[in-house]
Structure 1
Amino acid sequence: MIKFFLMVNKQGQTRLSRYYEHIEINKRTILEADVIKTCLSRSKEQCSFIEYKDFKLIYRQYAALFIVVGINETENEMAVYEFIHNFVEVLDMYFSRVVSLIIMFNLDKVHIILDEMVLNGCIVETNKARILAPLLILDKMAES
């Protein structure tokens, strides 16, 4: 099960965070700071899977963005690694570029995409057309 999903820039600023289990706000801040520091300090040659406290971290870097997913010990690391790439491909299909500013100014749409893909910490959809369908309908309604 996915515990949390983070998008962070190279400076360590959180651009998106979604938690799938309850963590108090002050503990979230500490957790995010520690996770971000851990992932950003690693070199490109190091593995993208990290054992961290009572869960695992899976991360990928796309230009200046890092996507970090915290999972429990029963989740498949490679499936989550591929899920991250699928998520970025969906963002790329919709926005045509995945950069920090686009994420910041379209945070609601990024949350919609993530919500279509993950439900209660479980990956439920990977088909790009199905993921984007509700967002495209909203865009058509906004145009008319």
Structure 2
Amino acid sequence: MSAAVTLGLLFFLSVGLNEQLAEGCSCYPATFQQMFCSSDIVIQVEVTGEKIIHKATNIPGMGKIQYEIQVIKVFKGVDRTKKIQHVYTREMSSLCGTRLRHEQYLLFGRITSEGVFISLCSKPVLWDRLSLIKKWSLKYRYLLGCN
């Protein structure tokens, strides 16, 4: 095979793979209330650390990130007496993962057998950027009308 044909095939394969990865995390547009209602857990946290955990395959980028957190307030979800110390996300953003900094967040998450997971689609929000109305809505969550 000529070099030009090989390069052409590699180009088309890479475009196809990039498109698959980009479509791997399609997020349905959701309002703040829909995010609250569809989440297993809604918590205000402060991120205090992070650690990348690789699967048994040890393939870089295919693991998950464990964020050490301090829970400030639980708005929905687990028993308030239970201590949550970590939340997880996928390492690669193309697999819907998200990156957090050492700041306070409002997190919407899913409870799985592996722990509490957040994703790019769950739209973590910096606590200081939440409007007073959204903070009030969290405090009086029964008015949000999830039923």
Quickly name the TM-score band, shorter chain normalised.
Answer: 0.3 to 0.5
Q: Which has the larger radius of gyration?
A: 2
User: When you count helix as a share of all residues, which structure comes out higher?
Assistant: 1
Q: TM-score, normalised by structure 2?
A: 0.34
Q: TM-score, normalised by structure 1?
A: 0.35
